[in-house]
Amino acid sequence: MKQFTIPFTYRSSLIADIKQKRKLADKMKKDFTPSLLEFEGLKIYLARHFGFCYGVENAIEIAFKTIEENAGKRIFLLSEMIHNPKVNADLINLGVTFLQDTKGNQLIDFSELNEDDVVIIPAFGTTLNIENKLKESGIKIEKYNTTCPFVEKVWNRSEQIAKQGFSIIVHGKPSHEETRATFSHASSAAPTLVINDMQEAQILAKFISGELPINVFDNFFEGRYSENFIPEKSLDKIGVVNQTTMLAAETQGISDFLKSVMAAKYPENTSLHFADTRDTLCYATNDNQSAVYGLLEQEADIAIVVGGYNSSNTSHLVELCEAKLPTYFIKDESKIISQNIISHFDLRNKIEKISENYLHADGEKRILLTAGASCPDAVVESVILKLKELFSV
């Protein structure tokens, strides 16, 4: 795989050595058992896969190279480069300005741009409408586009099945930048609908089967489907693609479920009514989630997940860990305040809170540790060193 040039401050010699050792011992990436970092009185079990993925390193390399090559020019980011506070803060400190927030709200109007400005498209990609607005301002978006190749793969797959007459069901978080971008590209080619989870897939199934009348479709999916999506027609032929950072197992479960619904309705020619799109799952999302399943087989006292609080892929790692043991979602080592106090993000209530006596196990402490795909290895190393400092005798 291509090696990227990214700031050395994001690298970690410790993490690099661990990853390289695991890679040499398991070239096919079939071993998802964690790596053990053992200190006196403390065991840290580090997930087999975590941290920067291909798309993130690609985006960071392009962004920092763009800044270096365009000294004196105004440089803008359409929105956050990736969902990591350190990386975005570094870009802002280098003079980069955001045009939008992560919800798509305008911070600087596109009309204020001119053809001499540089606009970087983030790794999530963007909508066709925004692309056109930037082009109208004279911005050459192709030159500074950091859209992840695996996101573009979803767009390409959507276009392929659209040509075969299938409508597109996008499994994703409706307000997420990547989902908005995928919806835009998919709906330009075919009727498109966004669903958030299996519960919504089950509701959609009732419209497919006729159990629910079409006239109440808007009660469940208003604002989630394209203008060319006509429920009574567009649900005859469907294919499922995903926001690449969703839970891989959930996307597959939704796809399998909707395929079974179509098979029940069209038993003799299901393949004409349901498109096989499972190849849109992102390899890094899959690897990181599989590594967490392997991590959770290890007995431990707590789990710590490191990453940006608005990171979709990181939040899913938190959800997996929370299902088994106490889990603390932190953005960096500074949130581990002492042996007794930790500041962490409550995913369910979307607030940061303080917990006391978070690691109250007697004797040897056992901690599971992983990080999201947008978290620098250097931050993970800092968390390890902070834990060692606090808990190792």
Catalytic (active-site) positions: 178
Q: Is 325 left (phi over 0), alpha (psi -120 to 50) or beta?
A: beta
Is residue 41 within 8 Å of 388, Cβ to Cβ? no
Contact 146, 59 (CB under 8 A): yes
Q: What share of the chain is helix, strand, coil (3-state, %, to 5)?
A: 45, 15, 40
Smallest CA-to-CA distance from 59 within 284, 241, 246, 247 is with: 284
With residue 98 as reference, give the H or E element that holds it: strand 97-98
Task: Indicate the angle between helix axes 283-295 and 54-69, nearest 10 degrees.
Answer: 130
Residue 347: partners with Cβ closer than 8 Å, 6 or more residues away: 315, 318, 319, 322, 329
Distance between CA 62 and CA 382 in Å, rounded? Answer: 26
Angle at the Cα of 68 from the Cα atoms of 66 and 69, rounded to 5 degrees:
65
User: Tokens 């661990």 sit at which residue?
Assistant: 18
Q: How far apart are CA 207 and CA 366, in angstroms?
A: 48
Measured CA to CA, the distance from residue 153 to residue 172 in angstroms comes to: 15
Q: Are 343 and 363 in contact (CB under 8 A)?
A: no
What's the CA dihedral at 68, 377, 322, 248 to 10 degrees? 70
